[in-house]
Amino acid sequence: MAATYEFRFHPSIADIRADHWNALASSAPDNSSDSSATNTTSPFLRHEFLLALEQTGCADTATGWQPHHLSVTRNNTLVAVMPLYIKNHSYGEYVFDWSWADAYRQHGMRYYPKLLTSVPFTPSTGPRLLIAESEDHAHITHAIAQAVIAEARRIGASTWHVLFPGQQQSDHLTNAGLRPRIACQFHWYNRGYKTFDDFLATFNSRKRKNLRKERDAVHSAGIQFTRFRGNAITPAMWQQFYRFYQNTYQIRGQQGYLTQAFFQRLSDVMPDNLLLVVATLDARPIAAALSFRDSEKLYGRYWGCLQEYQFLHFETCYYQGIEYAIEEGLQSFDSGAQGEHKIQRGFEPIITYSNHWIADARFDAAIGEFLEREGEYIKEYRVGAEGGLPFKRSQNNAGTSSE
């Protein structure tokens, strides 16, 4: 007999028990393009992280991120959950659909509201439908898609977007009727290195010298670095970090999405997932980078400084992270979206995924044609980017994280 699912939409993740949500998050396979992927729970999928976004005013109705999370039960047992938001803008997503919204406007149609399945402000790949291992994932994904599409039609949403799922989950969503889209990011992989010098030994001579010059320039300027984990990050450090974080936006005339209260809340509820790298000059903090970690991966997320120094960003955000990952035996380092400058520093191009449902048949066809052309360009771009990697030609470092 076919499984009968019950679907509920929730105005806050607080309506779903944290232990139930986290149990599903820990059982959901990653299935990303990352060759080191395991069933490790991403810190961004934890109930505590998503609840902190809501309760500190970062992702709530007032900011245009109206929570509308989905829970799925079968025989009164919770078998799946999914983060879901009703969006009235496209900020903080990292998969850009501004041109789609503009095309709707030009045709006198309304693009917002739309439905969005993602982790707010976080372009990191991971499962987006958190499904119990006991379920048929393809079958339940199709059922969830039909339920969400029905909800989208009910509330008048123009589209539904699922951002940064793993490859297998993206394939299931494609089979359920959502159009696939690909993009490219740059990740670092640990090939069993014991030291940073082991990593550098895989570079060709010229690129190795260039990277060492960058590191030497920072340290010769007298800048020192200290790493702090979790509970070792004091309230004063959070206040200083938040000043750095906002400064990166203010110099562009913008405001950061996240609040100081959000970062401090994370320090209380998930300290073991946090790493803060602080750069000091003459004993005075001048920059900092905040990363997250689980048992397998490091995720670089936020950084800021008071004054630019040559190569300070690369050292604070990348080289310190690589050193830490090697020391901790982490398998990979997701340093965030974009950044071609990462290629020559040993970050490999990988394919990321998203899926999209468009209510209007005419726009669906036009967007589908666009995505096919864009996808061919992205695949060609990735091949070209691999050619810029710094590794010795005799080594097969690149390409192991297949799409």
247's torsion region: left (phi>0), alpha (psi -120 to 50) or beta?
A: alpha
Q: H-type helices in 179-259, by residue range?
A: 196-200, 205-220, 235-250
Task: Give start-end residues of each CATH 3.40.630.30 domain in the chain.
Answer: 6-183+351-386, 191-330
Centre a 10 Å sphere on the Cβ of residue 369 and count the other Cβ atoms it contains. 9
Of 294, 296, 351, 341, give the one whose Cα is nearest residue 317. 341
Q: How far apart are CA 312 and CA 106, in angstroms?
A: 44
The amino acid occupying position 155 is: I
Q: How far apart are CA 140 and CA 132, in angstroms?
A: 10
Q: Which residues contact 369 (CB under 8 A, 6 or more apart)?
A: none
Centre a 10 Å sphere on the Cβ of residue 52 and count the other Cβ atoms it contains. 24
Centre a 10 Å sphere on the Cβ of residue 118 and count the other Cβ atoms it contains. 26
pTM reported for the whole predicted model: 0.94
Q: What is the CATH number of domain 6-183+351-386?
A: 3.40.630.30
Q: What is the CATH number of domain 191-330?
A: 3.40.630.30
The structure tokens listed for 329 are 């035996």
Cis peptide before 113 (omega within 30 of 0): yes
Q: What is the DSSP string of 330-396?
A: -SEEE--S--GGGGGGTPEEEEEEEEEEESSHHHHHHHHHHHHHHHHHHHHHHHHHHTT--B-TTS-
pLDDT in tens, the chain (403 residues): 356 999 999 999 999 999 999 999 998 766 554 444 444 689 999 999 999 999 999 999 999 999 999 999 999 999 999 999 999 999 999 999 999 999 999 999 999 999 999 999 999 999 999 999 999 999 999 999 999 999 999 999 999 999 999 999 999 999 999 999 999 999 999 999 999 999 999 999 999 999 999 999 999 999 999 999 999 999 999 999 999 999 988 877 878 899 999 999 999 999 999 999 999 999 999 999 999 999 999 999 999 998 889 999 999 999 999 999 999 999 999 998 878 999 999 999 999 999 999 999 999 999 999 999 999 999 999 999 999 999 997 655 544 443 3
Find where tokens 């439908």 sit. Answer: 129
Of 127, 130, 191, 172, give the one whose Cα is nearest residue 401. 191
